[in-house]
Structure 1
Amino acid sequence: MGNDNRADKIALPVFSRRSVLGVIGGSALLAGAPGTAFARTLLRPATRFPVLTKIINDYVAQKKVAGMLAAIGRDQSDPMVIAAGTQKLGGDRPVDIDSLWRLYSQTKPVTGMAVMMLIEDGLLKLDQPLADILPEFADMRVLQDPEGPIDDTVPARTQITIRHLLTHTAGLGYSIISKGPIQAAYFAKGITPGVVSRTPIPGFESGLATPDIATFSKNLASLPLVYEPGTKWSYSVSIDLLGYVVEVVSGQPLDEFLQKRMFDPLGMKDMFFRLPVDRVKDFTDNYIPFNGALIPIDPAENSIYLDKPAFAFGGAGLVGSAADYDRFLAMLLGFGTYRGTAIMQPETAKKGMSNLLPESVNLSGSWIANHGFGAGGRVGIGTKASPAGTYGWGGAAGTAAFVDTANGFRAGGYTQYMPASSYPFQADFPKYVYADMMQNKAIGGGKTSP
C-alpha cells in the first residue's frame, strides 16, 4: 500500500485484510426490511425519522464516528438529509450532502449497470461466455478443495459467463474472502483491487502491487477457480474483472465509459476513482474503531485516493458524494431515467435489478441466503425478509444504499469506519428507515415527498 513518514506516529492494532474488508458488502443489508406500501408516507422533516435521526446523533455524540449522514428521497424528488458531525474528528467542516466518502463496494452496482448498458447496446449478452471477450479464460480449472493446493484441480465443466460475473457465481476468489493457498496466490499475483491507506496497517497483507488491468486479467486467468461456475455464490473480484470487459467491448476504460455514459448525463460531478487535489477539503477521514477510540487510517490530506490507481477498480474504487449516489439511485427508481434524461431503457434497468442468479446456485451460508442478486447488488425476492422491488449494496467503510421500487423511494447512509461490522449501522440501516416509515403511517402521515 506504500509507506510514508507517519507510520511510526500511529499506534495501530493488528488487523487482517479479511477483518477490515471482509464485510465489504454489508452482510445484512436489506435483510428484514418490510415489504408493505407504507414507504409512500415518507415525509420531509427529520422529526419524521426519529429512529434514524437519533441513531445518527448518538453515533456522533458518543464519538463512534466523526460524521454520519443519511439521504432519503421518494421517486425523483430532492432527498431529505439527516446529518451530524464533521469530516474529521475535531474538524470544523460539517458533513453534508456534498461531502466525499469512500464508497468501496457501493461501486459494484454502478459497474453492474454499466454492463447492463452494454447488453442493451448489443455489445454483450447476459449468458455470453467470458472467453469470447477475454480468451485467457477459455480453459479454466477448478480447485478440488477451495482451501487446498492450487495444483489439485479438475477442468471446469462450465464456461464463465457475464451473468456469473455480475452475480458472484463465476467461481473466482477474493483475497478478503478466500483462504489457504489460493489466497496466497492472489497476493503473489497482485489480485488485490482495493486500497485502504498509504500507512501500513499491521497484519493487513498487501501482496504484490496490483498491476494494470490487462495483466490483472491474465494473472487471474492463470489461477484455478475456487468453485465450478454457476454452482456457488461467493464474493469475488468478478466486478473488477467486468471493468476490463467494459473496456474491451466499448473501447473505453471503465472510468471514461462511466463518465461519458452515466456520470455526465446524470449530473454526477463528484464521482472519482482518483481524488482531485482540489477536493481534499471535501473528503472525509477514515477510521478504525479500537478500544473506544477512533484511529485514523486514511486522513483526507494524505489519502491513498490521491494516488493514481492501477486501474479503475469496478468493484471497490469510487469516492463520491451522497448527492451523486442519490442521483444514481433516483435513476434506478426511474428505471433508467433521471428527470427526463434516459441512460438506459426501462427493461434494462429492471433486468439489472432483478434476480439474475443461475437456478442451480448454492446460497447456503452466504451473505445473500434467502435473497436474490442482480447486476452487482442484492435484490428482494418477495418475502418479508426480502421485499420485492429492493436492490442495493454497501461498502467496506460502513456505507449502505438501496432502492425500493415497489414503494418508490431510495435511501443512502454514509459514514467512514472499518471494518463495517464494528457497528451495526450498515447492516441495520434499512431497518432504521423502515421503522420510521411505519411510525409515519401509524400517526397518519400522508404522501408528502421528502
Structure 2
Amino acid sequence: MEMTPVAAEAVGIAPSRLVHVDRWMDAQVESGRLAGLSVMIARRGRVAYMNCAGIADLARGVAMTPETIVRIYSMTKPLTSVAVMMLYEDGHFQLDDPVSRFLPEFEHMRVFAGAMQGKIDTVPAARPITIRDLLTHTSGLTYGFMDATPVDALYRRMGVDFQMAETSLGDVVRIAASLPLLAQPGAEWNYSIATDVLGHLVAVVSGRPFEDFLRARVLAPLGMVDTDFHVPAEKQARFASNYRRGDAGGVALIDDARESRYLRPRAVCSGGGGLVSTAADYMRFCQMMLGDGTYAGRRLLGRKTVALMTSNHLGGDMASMGQARFSESSYEGVGFGLGFSVMLDPARAQIFGTPGEYAWGGAASTAFWIDPAEELAVILLTQLMPSSTYPIRRELRVLTYAALDD
C-alpha cells in the first residue's frame, strides 16, 4: 500500500471536515491530556489523512512523527489471531478442538464456585476449553490486573503476567492452567490472557517459537518492518515514552523510552500485548484485512477466513454475555469475533459506525477500526495508560465519520 497521502476528496472525504481532526489533535496536546498522538485514515486503499501532534518523548523534546514507534499492547491480539487462523487454514486443527489436544495442561480444568474465609471453592469444568473459546474470550480465563475476583488475585500471586514474566511463554501458560477458571468455558465473555495462550499454541503447533512464526508468516509478508517484541538499538531514537495522567494535570512518565524493557529482547513474547509498531505498519495489516486476506498481490488468509474472523460469534452483544469489567471496547451493541470486536448496532452502542465494522485497542490508548462497507481503516496512536483515561477513541470516531462526503 502506498503510504503517501492522496487528496482526501479523491476517496470521498471532505478536507474541510478533516480540519476538525487537526483541531482535535492539537487540543489533546494543548490541554495536557496527551503528550503526543498520530492519526492515519485510509479509504479505498489509499491514505487520505496522516497527521501528528505533540511530543513522543517529553524529556528529550522528540516530536511525534509518522515513524514514531509505540507500544500497541492489545492491538497485538488481532495479529496473533491471524497467526492462529493461518494454522487453521493449514489443516492443523478445527476451531472446536479442545486446546488440551495440544496443551495437555488444560485437560482437567476446574471453575471458581465461590470463596469464603480465604478458601476458594471450585467445580469441574463442564466441557473442555476449545480453540474458538480462546479466540472469542469465552474460555473462562481472566486477567490478574482486573483486581475484581479471587481468581484475579490468584493470577497476581502466582505471577501470571505475560508482560513482566522473565521465564518462558510455556511456563506462564502452565501456571495459568493450574488455576481455576473464572467461568465455565463458553458461558461468559471475559477479557483475558486467552490470546497469550494462543501464542503458545502457535509455538507448539508450528514447532517454532511464537515470535519467529509471527515474523515469518505475518509481519514480514506485510512489510511491517518496525513491528516486533522489542525495539532494536538502531530504532530507539524513534521510540516513544509512555505516560499516565498526572496528579496535578498533564501527564506523568511511567516508562522512559531510553530505559524501557522494550529495548531488550523479551524472554516472554506476549501474543496478547507484547508488540511495538508504527501507524504505517499497522495500516498494512488493516489493508490486508480489508483486502479479504490479500496485501500487495499476496494472499495471507482466505477471504472466507476473514469473513469468519470478523463475524460475531457471541450470539448477541458483549453486554448480554460479558461481565461489567474492563475491556478495550464498550459492551452495548458490540459483539466479538475471532480476535476483533464487531459492531452490531451503532444506535445501541451510541456511537457512529457501521454494522460489521471491527476493531480493537491497546492499554496505552491506541486503537484501530476497519469498516468494510465504507472501505475505511483508521489508526490512532498515542502513549497514555490506561486506555480508559479519556474517551479519545469515541471522539475520533465522530470526527472521522462526519468527514465522509459521498
| TM-score normalised according to structure 1 size | 0.81
What residue in structure 1 maps to residue 381 of structure 2?
414
Query: Quick check: 181-190 or 403-412, which moved more?
Result: 181-190
Partner of 2:401: helix, strand, or coil?
Answer: helix
In structure 2, give the amino acid aligned to 1:365.
A
2:359 is the alignment partner of 1:392: yes
Query: Quick check: 315-324 or 287-296, which moved more?
Result: 287-296
Shift of 1:119: 1.1
Q: Cα RMSD between the aligned structures?
A: 2.3
Equivalent position to 2:401, from 431, 434, 437: 434
In structure 2, give the amino acid aligned to 1:374.
G
Equivalent position to 1:369, from 332, 337, 347: 332
Q: Within 5 Å, which residues of 2 pair with 1:348-363?
A: 348-357=305-314, 362-363=321-322
2:5 is the alignment partner of 1:49: no
In structure 2, give the amino acid aligned to 1:189.
M
2:111 is the alignment partner of 1:155: no
Partner of 1:170: helix, strand, or coil?
Answer: coil
**Against the structure 1 CA distance between its residues 383 and 284, is the aligned structure 2 distance closer, same or farther, given a 3 Å change threshold?**
closer
Query: Quick check: 143-152 or 60-69, which moved more?
Result: 143-152
Contact 1:39 1:407 in 2 (8 A): no
Contact 1:148 1:181 in 2 (8 A): no
Contact 1:40 1:407 in 2 (8 A): no
Partner of 1:389: helix, strand, or coil?
Answer: coil
Partner of 1:159: helix, strand, or coil?
Answer: coil
What residue in structure 1 maps to residue 185 of structure 2?
229
- Give per-residue Cα distances to partners, 1:280-335, cap 9 Å, x unaligned: 10011111112213211111111121133232100110100011001000111001
Equivalent position to 1:135, from 98, 101, 104: 104
Distance 2:336 2:117 in 1: 28
Shift of 1:246: 0.6
**Against the structure 1 CA distance between its residues 121 and 39, is the aligned structure 2 distance closer, same or farther, given a 3 Å change threshold?**
farther
**Against the structure 1 CA distance between its residues 147 and 75, is the aligned structure 2 distance closer, same or farther, given a 3 Å change threshold?**
farther
In structure 2, give the amino acid aligned to 1:323.
A
What residue in structure 1 maps to residue 202 of structure 2?
246
Structure 1 gaps of 5+ residues are 1-37, 196-208
**Against the structure 1 CA distance between its residues 148 and 353, is the aligned structure 2 distance closer, same or farther, given a 3 Å change threshold?**
farther
2:72 is the alignment partner of 1:96: no
Shift of 1:180: 4.1
What residue in structure 2 maps to residue 21 of structure 1?
none
**Against the structure 1 CA distance between its residues 40 and 233, is the aligned structure 2 distance closer, same or farther, given a 3 Å change threshold?**
farther
Contact 1:398 1:416 in 2 (8 A): yes
- Give per-residue Cα distances to partners, 1:6-35, cap 9 Å, x unaligned: xxxxxxxxxxxxxxxxxxxxxxxxxxxxxx
Contact 1:104 1:318 in 2 (8 A): yes
Equivalent position to 2:223, from 227, 247, 267: 267
Distance 2:201 2:111 in 1: 22
Percent identical pairs in the alignment equals 38
What residue in structure 2 maps to residue 381 of structure 1?
344
In structure 1, give the amino acid aligned to 2:374.
N
| TM-score normalised according to structure 2 size | 0.89
Q: Within 5 Å, which residues of 2 pair with 1:277-356?
A: 277-290=233-246, 291-356=248-313
Shift of 1:254: 1.8
Partner of 1:422: helix, strand, or coil?
Answer: coil
Distance 1:343 1:282 in 2: 29
**Against the structure 1 CA distance between its residues 40 and 375, is the aligned structure 2 distance closer, same or farther, given a 3 Å change threshold?**
farther
Partner of 1:411: helix, strand, or coil?
Answer: strand
Which structure has more strand as a fraction of its residues? 2
Contact 1:150 1:181 in 2 (8 A): no
**Against the structure 1 CA distance between its residues 427 and 240, is the aligned structure 2 distance closer, same or farther, given a 3 Å change threshold?**
farther
Partner of 1:313: helix, strand, or coil?
Answer: coil
2:177 is the alignment partner of 1:214: no
Higher relative contact order by CA 8 Å / sep ≥ 6: 1 or 2? 1
Distance 1:347 1:150 in 2: 47
Contact 2:40 2:47 in 1 (8 A): no
In structure 1, give the amino acid aligned to 2:295.
Y
Distance 1:182 1:210 in 2: 22
Equivalent position to 2:51, from 54, 79, 82: 82
Distance 2:11 2:114 in 1: 49
**Against the structure 1 CA distance between its residues 97 and 124, is the aligned structure 2 distance closer, same or farther, given a 3 Å change threshold?**
farther
Distance 2:315 2:65 in 1: 40
Shift of 1:122: 1.0
In structure 2, give the amino acid aligned to 1:321.
T
Distance 2:241 2:403 in 1: 29
Shift of 1:90: 5.9
Contact 1:39 1:409 in 2 (8 A): no
Distance 1:416 1:210 in 2: 24
Shift of 1:245: 0.5
Partner of 2:62: helix, strand, or coil?
Answer: coil
Shift of 1:433: 1.5
Contact 2:360 2:369 in 1 (8 A): yes
Distance 1:369 1:210 in 2: 37
Partner of 2:254: helix, strand, or coil?
Answer: strand
Distance 1:85 1:299 in 2: 17
In structure 2, give the amino acid aligned to 1:276.
P
